[in-house]
Amino acid sequence: MKRTIVDIISLLYIVLFFYTGVNKLRNNDTFSEQVSKNTYLNDYHTVIAIAIPSMEVLISAALIAAFFTHAKWPRKWGLYAGTALMAIFTIYVKFMLKSGHLPCTCGGIIEAMSWKQHFYFNTSFTLLGILAIWLNRGSLDVEQKKLSLS
């Protein structure tokens, strides 16, 4: 059952990060322009416009690889990196809720959400990521014990 929950959360992260990452890369000029409108991020908008969507696609790739390999590191890395990125996005959205309205720098359908909806969405995905890490950690411990007994 734990494995199934981790698989479902991993699939959700794959869809989310692949979709938004590819969308931001395809519309990179728009994404970069939106990031540049944030006074705190303006100086770094060109780096952020490439780094964020690239990380999203890499996280998706790691989580996809986890379904096709016996190695445990792709899923572990993907869940940790994905959850960390979602936590950063959540903090950013909370900050935006406090400071005022700026254009959304998300991609696709998610772009239609309000800042408050983004906060709840991101918080939910962050909590799902934490749950998956916790459940996956237990399965890694079992795998390591099995290996040490062999």
pLDDT at 109 over 80: no
Query: What confidence tens digit (pLDDT) does each residue in 4-50 have?
Result: 999 999 999 999 999 999 999 998 998 888 888 887 788 888 999 99
- At position 141, the amino acid (one-letter code) is D
Is the Cβ–Cβ distance between 6 and 132 less than 8 Å? yes
pLDDT at 82 over 90: yes
Single pTM value for the model:
0.84
pLDDT at 130 over 80: yes
CA 20 to CA 110: how far, in whole Å? Answer: 8
Share the mean pLDDT of the chain: 86
Report the pLDDT value the prediction gives residue 111, as an integer from 0 to 100: 73
Q: Average of pLDDT values for 52-70?
A: 95
Q: Return the higher-pLDDT residue of 63 and 106.
A: 63
Query: Would you kindly state where each structural domain of the chain is located, as residue ranges?
Result: 2-149
Q: Average of pLDDT values for 67-85?
A: 94
Q: Return the higher-pLDDT residue of 129 and 95.
A: 129
pLDDT at 97 over 60: yes
Q: Percentage of residues in the chain with pLDDT exceeding 90?
A: 54
Dihedral angle, C-alpha 24, 22, 9, 97, nearest 10 °: 10
